[in-house]
Chain A
Amino acid sequence: DEIGLIPCPEARYNRSPIVLVENKLGVESWCVKFLLPYVHNKLLLYRQRKQWLNKDELIDITCTLLLLNPDFTTAWNVRKELILSGTLNPLKDLHLGKLALTKFPKSPETWIHRRWVLQQLIQENSLPSLVTKGNLGAVPVERIHRLVQEEMNVCSEAAGRYPSNYNAWSHRIWVLQHLGKLTVKVLLDELSSSKYWVSMHVSDHSGFHYRQFLLTSLISRTVTDNNVLVQNQMINEQNPSLQKEESAGAEAACAEEQSVDVPCHLEEELELCTELIDTYPGHETLWCHSDETLNNSHHSPATSHMAQAMDVDGLNESSSKQGYTQETKRLKRTPVQDSLGPEMEYRFIDKVLSTCRDADQARFATAYRKWLVTFLGQ
């Protein structure tokens, strides 16, 4: 489940340079300068049609090459051909990529190939029967969910192996967009599972940026669902007897998604920032994240759209969607703006400035206050 290079400049004993300990593969470094040119050359000769290699040999050679240098695009492309011809199980490449990333967590070509493989996997029709063996015979939704989860793990591992791993985080976002379809469930799951990770990596700007992406996606998701809900209600008003069952189903789904409490999540995010800023003084990322979360909470279209939908709901007596109505009541009782008010932030800044001893922390706090004054006009 992991590969690595063992620093060993000379071959002292006449034995294999491959070391396998507890499922971790090590290669003694002295052999690389012999092995890599050898396999590299073999592959190039094959590509130049000067020397034939059969399918198994190709699989072996590319595997070796990629574990030594995963940015060798040609090797990945040979494997693409093998996958398309049905000789190679695409899942093997996901595993190979995962292994390569343990040593080369940034490798751009590995991530790119991974996205190609995933795209192949979700195109049901073009799959050779090879892939339906193993545990992927399950229902497509279930299967995609498992793929998404696995990708989240791979990204998380890679992000832990290299700080602010841009490629890992952008892959993670891509997976949510293309495999996870940015559903509310997926977004909320990710919000809760990434919380621990970012708390352990407080300077990882990419990690916090990911949370911004999740929150903004949630906000636009809620707006879209609100619009659908509002439209459905308007239709219901006009044709109460028509298609009640169908729209009820869709509305129930919307209602379930509607129970996303965006202001609450933004507030939690701000609390998380505050807690981390207190615990770990002097991390610019945390302050930036705070800025943006507060910015989102004030300009969130979700809050204004919710207010609109609220009125429509009030007029529609026949509404019986409990979740939605309760949500509406909560909004009416506690105006969103105040609970995330700048007064709270000013108090927080004052507290930080009076108690902190870190010069950077003081500077960030002062800058944050300046930002509050300028951008919020408070």
Chain B
Amino acid sequence: THPEHPLCPRSAYCAASVASLTNILTPALFAGTAEWIARCQNWEGGIGGVPGMEAHGGYTFCGVAALVILKKEHLLNLRSLLHWVTGRQMRFEGGFQGRCNKLVDGCYSFWQAGLLPLLHRALHARGDTALSMTRWMFDQTALQEYILLCCQCPAGGLLDKPGKSRDFYHTCYCLSGLAIAQHFGSGDLHHEVVLGVPENRLQATHPVYNITPEKVMRAVMHFLQQPVPGLEPGE
């Protein structure tokens, strides 16, 4: 699909993610994309699949991450977004739901909790002085409890919730969420909260690309050293 009309925050995120890592991101390529994503933010504060649709964890992460890459997070109402996502952590289970009044699901440990680092960074850039220097704005311990105690398959791998079977998707996003919950900040401002034994500690993941920060840097460096591809085929 045409980047200007992604028709879905997911495709916008995939495109922005790839383009930024491979150094082919140009304003022309994403003209109108940021504005379209912002239109997908609704009255609940989260982002839906298309403008007018219900706010949904998956779409919200993709939309926000894409905007962070495009440096246009300010187009969103960050306050209502913060209100929505923090409301999605379940007070009994500790994990996150994907939408209001739905059940907890391990994969939202990343899609939802992963929004807090992005919001933290965006609000910090705006000069917000109330931000913590040690914690994200969700209960990191409770999320780790949910993942470790409820989302592990005895035979290995992770899952949605007790009773469900394991799959690669849930394994990936439960672990990603666990990494987010364990690591605050980066560099000098890094603060760890590891629930249980030290062996539970995972490496930190990059909150935008969800690969390790080191891999992000290597990818960016690699492509920066390549000649930028021309627009004409066969050039």
**A contact residues vs B (CB 8 Å cutoff):** 163-164, 166, 169-170, 173-174, 177, 203-206, 209, 212-213, 216, 283-285, 288, 292, 295
Measured CA separation A209–B46 after assembly (Å): 13
Contact B44 A288 (CB under 8 A): yes
Closest beta carbon of chain A to B104's beta carbon, Å: 13
Measured CA separation A204–B100 after assembly (Å): 9
Measured CA separation A284–B48 after assembly (Å): 19
Task: Count chain A CB atoms within 10 A of each CB in B50, B53, B54, B102 and give the residue with the most.
Answer: B54
Q: Which residues of B contact A285 (CB under 8 A)?
A: 100-101
**B contact residues vs A (CB 8 Å cutoff):** 43-44, 48-50, 52-54, 56, 99-102
Which residue of chain B has the shortest Cβ distance to A174 in the bound complex? B50
- With known contacts A205-B100, A205-B101, A285-B101, A169–B43 Cβ distance under 8 A: no
Contact B53 A283 (CB under 8 A): no
Which residue of chain B has the shortest Cβ distance to A173 in the bound complex? B52
Closest beta carbon of chain A to B161's beta carbon, Å: 15
Which residue of chain B has the shortest Cβ distance to A167 in the bound complex? B49
Q: Which residues of B contact A174 (CB under 8 A)?
A: 50
Closest beta carbon of chain A to B142's beta carbon, Å: 17
Q: Which residues of A contact B43 (CB under 8 A)?
A: 212, 216, 292, 295
- With known contacts A212-B43, A292-B43, A284–B101 Cβ distance under 8 A: yes
Closest beta carbon of chain A to B81's beta carbon, Å: 15
In order of increasing CB-CB distance, the 8 nearest A-B pairs are: A285-B101, A209-B54, A205-B101, A205-B100, A284-B101, A203-B101, A170-B53, A292-B43
Measured CA separation A206–B101 after assembly (Å): 10
Measured CA separation A51–B54 after assembly (Å): 45
Q: Which residues of B contact A206 (CB under 8 A)?
A: 54, 99
Closest beta carbon of chain A to B46's beta carbon, Å: 11
Measured CA separation A216–B42 after assembly (Å): 11
Closest beta carbon of chain B to A110's beta carbon, Å: 16
Q: How many A-B residue contacts, CB cutoff 8 Å?
A: 46
Measured CA separation A205–B50 after assembly (Å): 17
Measured CA separation A166–B47 after assembly (Å): 13
Measured CA separation A177–B101 after assembly (Å): 26
Q: List 5 A-B contacts (CB under 8 A).
A: A164-B99, A170-B49, A206-B99, A284-B100, A288-B100
Which residue of chain B has the shortest Cβ distance to A216 in the bound complex? B43
Q: Which residues of A contact B101 (CB under 8 A)?
A: 164, 203-205, 283-285, 288
Q: Which residues of A contact B53 (CB under 8 A)?
A: 166, 169-170, 173, 209
Q: Which residues of A contact B102 (CB under 8 A)?
A: 163-164, 205
Which residue of chain B has the shortest Cβ distance to A288 in the bound complex? B100
Measured CA separation A209–B101 after assembly (Å): 12
Q: Which residues of B contact A177 (CB under 8 A)?
A: 52
Measured CA separation A203–B49 after assembly (Å): 21
Measured CA separation A292–B53 after assembly (Å): 15
Measured CA separation A182–B121 after assembly (Å): 39
Closest beta carbon of chain A to B16's beta carbon, Å: 22
Contact B52 A205 (CB under 8 A): no
Which residue of chain A has the shortest Cβ distance to B44 in the bound complex? A288
Q: Which residues of A contact B56 (CB under 8 A)?
A: 166
Contact A170 B50 (CB under 8 A): yes
Measured CA separation A164–B54 after assembly (Å): 10
Measured CA separation A212–B55 after assembly (Å): 12
Task: Count chain B CB atoms within 10 A of each CB in A283, A288, A292 and give the residue with the most.
Answer: A288
Contact B52 A166 (CB under 8 A): no
Closest beta carbon of chain A to B101's beta carbon, Å: 4
Which residue of chain A has the shortest Cβ distance to B56 in the bound complex? A166
Contact A166 B49 (CB under 8 A): yes
B54 touches which of A166, A203, A216, A283 (Cβ 8 Å): A166
* Known A205-B100, A288-B100, A292-B43; further 20 A-B contacts with Cβ < 8 A: A163-B102, A164-B99, A164-B101, A164-B102, A166-B49, A166-B53, A166-B56, A166-B99, A169-B54, A170-B49, A170-B53, A173-B52, A174-B50, A177-B52, A204-B101, A205-B101, A209-B44, A283-B101, A284-B101, A295-B43
Which residue of chain B has the shortest Cβ distance to A169 in the bound complex? B54
Q: Which residues of A contact B49 (CB under 8 A)?
A: 166, 170
Measured CA separation A209–B49 after assembly (Å): 13
Task: Count chain A CB atoms within 10 A of each CB in B49, B50, B52, B99 and give the residue with the most.
Answer: B52
Q: Which residues of B contact A173 (CB under 8 A)?
A: 52-53
Closest beta carbon of chain B to A270's beta carbon, Å: 15
Which residue of chain A has the shortest Cβ distance to B58 in the bound complex? A166
Measured CA separation A166–B99 after assembly (Å): 10
Q: Which residues of A contact B99 (CB under 8 A)?
A: 164, 166, 205-206
- With known contacts A288-B44, A292-B43, A295-B43, A213–B52 Cβ distance under 8 A: yes
Q: Which residues of A contact B52 (CB under 8 A)?
A: 173, 177, 213
Measured CA separation A206–B49 after assembly (Å): 13
Measured CA separation A169–B50 after assembly (Å): 12
